[in-house]
Chains A and B, each alone.
Chain A
């Protein structure tokens, strides 16, 4: 029972952390894709969308090779920061973040595209610089889409399996999330525990959706 609680809290923590981590770059990237023309835009667009279209396990394999001991980024992390990523809880955050990012970026892009350029232009003529226009006009006007995208990303992070299992493995007490746990328990023949974890996943998902609905309804002029 203690294990189940641990797994639930761990999953919540990982999903929250990875969502928070991708929020700033995800929103910024969404805005850049919606509002600016820059060289390499289509390349970045494709790269960001990649985890959506290839099997999650394949994304996991790429991450494993990149962040592994002999991987380019793995060596960087170890030499510069002294941290090991793969097969630790950090790998779970990495995998869920990478898998959730495309959903957030897409939602953010659409949300910013729907903000009338006219309003941003008028805001400029009223004396506001680009940063103030972004924070006082674009961001609040795009908030519904951004919130929806954040919830979607969070839900994805909660339930991620394929990429996580590749880079983080299935280490009880260290890298097992609800999704991994369900598979793990079924493998061991512990169907009752698996159903308990299933129930908890459903509750968490419900909670996230309800929270976002409540946030969306609140304070709308």
Chain B
């Protein structure tokens, strides 16, 4: 099912939102810093905010059509919203929170049934607890469960991990993946953490100043930011799928394309095999002659320069070394190395800069 926003306009004071987009992927990331209009967009999709113009469609259902005066109220949209703090009802215990959302489905058994959802999110033991007594991670899991038992047609996750510390984040992420894989539900995932984008989303859209700057597959957006602004907001990164081959002494060997890289094991849960490898472009060092080099960097790669793109002060170079690796150099450095497409080049990456993000 696709979520389509056509000609959606909304303005308040100096801020204006203008969105034309179709989200087709299963999990679409909406990436933007605060003030970019993410929350307004989420509220428009949820029906909590009326745009000044435009249409919002979910599959064949028209949610909003300003020109025809259509505005489906939030309770009839089937859009499950999970905000940053979970927004659990403090006067109801966990079971009461779930039951509140079950009205529409009558708590029916099956995919969106309470039993299945509780099991999936491991909250069966929390049913009699009160929201105030839950940890941040538990709260988010309950909020996710509550949205799911309402049997939504679309899940809107508005920075669901932003309020959690790194350890809790890592603990909730697998549940988000489970939801992604278990339910055939389109998910709009709002965040400004690139790691969450890589770990969860198929596609991503970059939002800034109320405008969508770029939409596309996650790897693509990180590797080839469409503009200087996008590059500044998301950072330039190589994002590739990889496979853990094995490791020792706290290091792991990952196979990407035909290349092998070494990264740190401590970032990963034990037993992970499928990963996304992300390397920030500014962490890559390019050298003309690697053979004669003695260096502390664990990863020495050989490749061919595919493209050289000059920015105002930096140059973005894509090197094919068994997988497409992006490097960001200063203009001066690029000139000294006389980089041009077709040239043989070496690339150095320190093991801690090879970020490993679990895929499943």
Kindly name the residue among A121, A125, A132 whose own CB sees the greatest number of chain B CB atoms within 10 A: A125
Residues of B within 8 A of A119 (CB): 87, 89
A128 touching B90 by the CB < 8 A rule? Answer: no
Contact of B74 among A121, A132, A136, A141 (CB under 8 A): A121
State which residues 102-129 of A face B: CB under 8 Å: 116, 118-119, 121-129
Residues of A within 8 A of B46 (CB): 121, 125
Question: Is A221 positioned at the interface, with any CB of B under 8 Å from its CB?
Answer: yes
Question: Is B288 positioned at the interface, with any CB of A under 8 Å from its CB?
Answer: no
Residues of B within 8 A of A123 (CB): 89, 100
Q: How far is the CA of A214 from the CA of B48 in the complex (A)?
A: 38
Chain B residue, CB-CB nearest to A136: B100
User: How many A-B pairs with Cβ below 8 Å?
Assistant: 62
In the assembled complex, the CB of A208 is this many whole angstroms from the nearest CB of chain B, namely 24
In the assembled complex, the CB of B72 is this many whole angstroms from the nearest CB of chain A, namely 11
Interface-facing stretch out of B76-84, B170-178, B210-218, B221-229: B76-84
Question: Is B181 positioned at the interface, with any CB of A under 8 Å from its CB?
Answer: no
Contact of A122 among B47, B81, B91 (CB under 8 A): B81
Chain B residue, CB-CB nearest to A128: B75
Q: How far is the CA of A124 from the CA of B147 in the complex (A)?
A: 11
State which residues 217-260 of B face A: CB under 8 Å: none
Residues of A within 8 A of B77 (CB): 125
How many chain B residues sit at the interface, stated as a range, is: 20 to 34
B146 touching A126 by the CB < 8 A rule? Answer: yes
Contact of A125 among B79, B91, B93 (CB under 8 A): B79
Question: Is B73 positioned at the interface, with any CB of A under 8 Å from its CB?
Answer: yes
B103 touching A127 by the CB < 8 A rule? Answer: yes
How many chain A residues sit at the interface, stated as a range, is: 10 to 19
Residues of A within 8 A of B150 (CB): 125-127
Residues of A within 8 A of B90 (CB): 141, 221
Residues of B within 8 A of A207 (CB): none
Kindly name the residue among B87, B90, B130 whose own CB sees the greatest number of chain A CB atoms within 10 A: B87
Contact of A128 among B48, B81, B83, B100 (CB under 8 A): B100
B130 touching A221 by the CB < 8 A rule? Answer: yes
Chain B residue, CB-CB nearest to A127: B104
In the assembled complex, the CB of B62 is this many whole angstroms from the nearest CB of chain A, namely 18
Residues of A within 8 A of B146 (CB): 126
Chain A residue, CB-CB nearest to B130: A221
B83 touching A122 by the CB < 8 A rule? Answer: yes
Q: How far is the CA of A123 from the CA of B81 in the complex (A)?
A: 9
A125 touching B132 by the CB < 8 A rule? Answer: no
Question: Is A17 positioned at the interface, with any CB of B under 8 Å from its CB?
Answer: no
With A118-B83, A122-B83 as given contacts, are A127 and B89 in contact (CB-CB < 8 Å)? no
Residues of A within 8 A of B73 (CB): 124, 129
Contact of A140 among B48, B78, B91, B130 (CB under 8 A): B91
Residues of A within 8 A of B75 (CB): 124-129
Q: How far is the CA of A123 from the CA of B87 in the complex (A)?
A: 9
In the assembled complex, the CB of A119 is this many whole angstroms from the nearest CB of chain B, namely 6
Question: Is A147 positioned at the interface, with any CB of B under 8 Å from its CB?
Answer: no
Question: Is A137 positioned at the interface, with any CB of B under 8 Å from its CB?
Answer: yes
Residues of A within 8 A of B87 (CB): 116, 118-119, 122
* Closest CB pairs A-B (n = 5): A124-B74, A127-B104, A126-B101, A221-B130, A125-B81
- List 7 A-B pairs, Cβ < 8 Å: A119-B89, A121-B46, A121-B74, A125-B147, A125-B156, A126-B75, A127-B78
Tell me the B residues contacting A by CB distance below 8 Å.
Answer: 43, 46-48, 73-75, 77-81, 83, 87, 89-91, 93, 100-101, 103-104, 130, 132, 146-147, 150, 156
Tell me the A residues contacting B by CB distance below 8 Å.
Answer: 116, 118-119, 121-129, 132, 136-137, 140-141, 221
Q: A124-B74, A126-B80, A221-B130 are in contact. List 18 more A-B contacts (CB 8 A).
A: A118-B83, A121-B46, A121-B81, A123-B89, A125-B47, A125-B48, A125-B80, A125-B81, A125-B156, A126-B75, A126-B150, A127-B75, A127-B150, A129-B73, A132-B103, A137-B89, A141-B90, A221-B132
